[in-house]
Amino acid sequence: MIELQDIGKTFSKGAQTFRAVQNVNVRVDPQSVVAFIGPSGCGKSTLLNMIAGLYPPSEGRVRYNGRTVGDVNTDVGYMTQKDNLLPWRTVLDNVALPLELAGWPPAKRYDAARAMLAHVGLDGFEQKFSSELSGGMRKRVCLARMLLHGPQVLLLDEPFAALDPQLRIAMHDLLLKLWAENRQTIILVTHDLMEAITLADRIVVFSKRPARVAFEGVVDLPRPRDVDSIRFTSRFHEIYTAFWERLRQEYDEVTP
């Protein structure tokens, strides 16, 4: 369970200060997939950073499984638009990194890494460097590395934004498959309403900066979902239209 309680965050740059987040209250149930939607730069990533414990909120607190997050939260896996692979390491060594940090002997960790790479559809690329891979493959490497760390919570910050639509759908498919196996809690930050509805159980919409919760809604599409066809169902369409209407109102209010 992740609880954001009265979260506020103020950044100061020199003499200037600005509020990134104000008075945010969100609860994320275990094993659920929640999408955060909002205009770019509104402070959604700031929220993820605070959930990960990379920096503390200025006001309020982040609770994780009943504890207040004070330091880096090592139960989370974090994935951003940027790949954050170590460019001097091969794919295999990148994926095995979390096990290497945990002190696994080489043979054991490479076996686990190879199996995980095969699982995300990357067998045969173990000895490549990330610079030799396509954008979609790098995402797969990131996913494999993150899953070997075995996090309870996945924080995904527009992870697929840089991919072309076809690849993005393939990644949605992979993500749902992996989620069905491990049932981690997922928080997905995105601009893309289609992506949010395809993947999430619940969508939280944020206002312009400073981010506040504008409204939330439930996505009651049945699981397991088939990412290729679910977009074309009538229920998907209803949900999409409903959200779109609210989104339009919300942002019309802010910018007349």
* Separation of alpha carbons 75 and 91, rounded Å: 23
Does 105 participate in binding other proteins (rule CB under 8 A)?
no
* Separation of alpha carbons 198 and 196, rounded Å: 6
Does 232 participate in binding other proteins (rule CB under 8 A)?
no
Does 87 participate in binding other proteins (rule CB under 8 A)?
yes
List Cα–Cα distances, 102 to 27, 141, 147, 149, in angstroms. 31, 19, 14, 9
**Binder among 36, 78, 179, 206 for other proteins (CB under 8 A):** 78
Nearer to other proteins, 72 or 180 (CB): 72
CB of 82 to other proteins, least distance (A): 6
Nearer to other proteins, 74 or 249 (CB): 74
Dihedral sign from CA coordinates of 124, 183, 163, 232: positive
**Binder among 20, 95, 97, 174 for other proteins (CB under 8 A):** 97
Q: Which token pair is 30?
A: 């275990």
CB of 116 to other proteins, least distance (A): 14
Residue 213: partners with Cβ closer than 8 Å, 6 or more residues away: 24, 25, 26, 204, 205, 206, 207
CB of 40 to other proteins, least distance (A): 18
Does 27 participate in binding other proteins (rule CB under 8 A)?
no
Does 132 participate in binding other proteins (rule CB under 8 A)?
yes
List Cα–Cα distances, 157 to 64, 65, 103, 239, in angstroms. 19, 21, 29, 23
Nearer to other proteins, 129 or 215 (CB): 129
Binding mask 141-170 for other proteins (x = CB under 8 A): --------x---------------------
Give the dihedral of Cα atoms 172, 173, 179, 180; nearest 10 deg. Answer: 150
CB of 49 to other proteins, least distance (A): 9
End-to-end CA distance of the chain: 38
Does 118 participate in binding other proteins (rule CB under 8 A)?
no
Q: Specify the stretch interacting with other proteins by CB under 8 A; choose among 40-48, 82-90, 222-230, 248-256.
A: 82-90
CB of 13 to other proteins, least distance (A): 16
CB of 104 to other proteins, least distance (A): 12
Asked if 157 contacts 181 with a C-beta cutoff of 8 angstroms, the reply is no
* Separation of alpha carbons 236 and 47, rounded Å: 28
Beta bridge pairs of residue 67: 64
Binding residues for other proteins (CB under 8 A): 52, 54, 72-74, 76-78, 80, 82, 84, 86-89, 97-98, 100-102, 129, 131-132, 149
